[in-house]
Amino acid sequence: MSPGGAGCSARLLLTVGWLLLARLQSTCGTNVTAFRDAGLDHEGEGENEGKEEAETDSEAENEPQDEAEEDVSNGTIVKEVEFGMCTVTCGIGIREVILTNGCPGGESKCVVRVEECRGPVDCGWGKPLSESLESVRLACVHISPENRFKYVWRLIRPNQQAIILPNDSAILEVHRDIHPMAYECETLENDEIIASVKFTIYTTAELQMKRSNRPDTDAVLVFVLTIGVVICIFVIFVLIFIIVNWAAVKDFWGAKASTTEVQSELSSMRYKESTSLDQSPTEIPGHEEDALSEWNE
C-alpha cells in the first residue's frame, strides 16, 4: 500500500468518526430536551394539583365559617341603644351610649361606651375660668386630651381687624387694662372650626363697681343654710328623745288628755246648770195660780 492510500484511509476513518460523534451528540441532546420537557410538565401538573388542593381546602374551611356566621347571625339578640344628654350645648362634648336590650346580668339598662357629641360652633360669650382684680384666666372649648386640638386666640378690636395672639394653648391668662378688652378663641380639629367662644375682660374699676352693686347673696344664702341645718338638728334630737322616752311621753300625754276631758265635763255641767237656772223663774206653781184666780173673782 502506498503512503497516499494510507493517508486517504486515515482521513476517511476520521471523517466517519466525526460523523458518528456528531450524530451521537444530536441524539443525546434530543433525549435530554425531551427529559427536561417531561420534567417541566410533571412540575406544572404538580403545581396545578397543589393549587387545586389548596383551593379545595380553602373552600372547605370557608364553608364552616360561613355556616358559623349564619348560625351566629341567626342566634344574635337584637340590641337597642339610646343616647344620653350631651354635656355641652355648643362646641364639642361627650355623651353616654346606653344599651336598653341585651345587657349582661339581666339589667334593663347599661352603659356601652362614651362617645363625642357636637353642637353649634358659636358658643357666644363665655365666663372666665378664674379672675382676680389683676388678671383673668380664660379657657377654650375642648375635651380631653387637650393637645388633640389646635387653638387660635384673637384680640377683638371694634371697627378694626382682630389681632392673632401667639398663644396656642387652651388656657390664656391676661392682665386687666385701663380699657375693657374682648378676646375670642377658636378650637380647630383637622383645620375645621368646631367651637368658638368670646370673653369680655372688664377693668379693675368696673369689676369693683359690679361687685359693690351686686347684692350680697352669698351671706344671705349662708345664713339661711345655717338656720336650716340648726332646725334639722333640733328636730332630729327631739325625735330621738321621744323614741328613747316613749313610755314617759305616753303617760304625759295620757294625763294631759284626761285632764282635758275632766275640764270639758265640768264646763258642760256648768253650762247645763246655768241653763236650768235661766228657765226656772218662768214656771208658776199650781197653788199660786189658784190664789190669783180667787182674788180676781
Structure confidence at residue 61 (pLDDT): 44
Tens of pLDDT along 133-164? 889 999 999 998 989 999 999 999 988 899 99
Residue 119 near residue 93 (C-beta atoms within 8 A): yes
Alpha carbon distances (Å) from 195 to 1, 84, 123, 146, 286: 122, 21, 7, 14, 111
In total, the chain counts a number of residues equal to 297
Question: Which of 94, 118, 142 is the last residue before a domain boundary?
Answer: 118
116 touches 89 (CB < 8 A): no
Average pLDDT over residues 257-270: 72
Residue 93 sits in the same domain as residue 168: no
Question: Assign residue 151 a region: left if phi > 0, alpha if psi is -120 to 50, beta otherwise?
Answer: beta
Look up the domain containing 86 and give its range.
Answer: 82-118
At 162, which CATH number?
Answer: 2.60.40.10
- The per-residue pLDDT for 163 is 94
Considering the domain boundaries, does residue 144 fall inside one? yes
Q: Measuring CA to CA, which residue among 140, 83, 139, 138 is closest to residue 116?
A: 83
149 touches 170 (CB < 8 A)? yes
Report pLDDT for 34: 40
The tens digit of pLDDT for each residue in 86-121 reads: 999 999 999 999 988 878 887 888 998 999 999 999
pLDDT in tens, 28-82: 444 434 434 444 444 444 444 444 544 444 444 444 344 334 333 444 556 688 8
Asked which of 213, 233, 264 is the last residue of a domain, the reply is 213
- Residue 280 inside a domain? The answer is no
Do 109 and 143 touch, CB atoms closer than 8 A?
Answer: no
Closest listed residue to residue 202, CA positions, set 128, 252, 98: 128
Give yes or no: residues 100 and 183 share one domain: no
Report pLDDT for 43. Answer: 44
Whether 246 shows a pLDDT value over 70: the answer reads yes
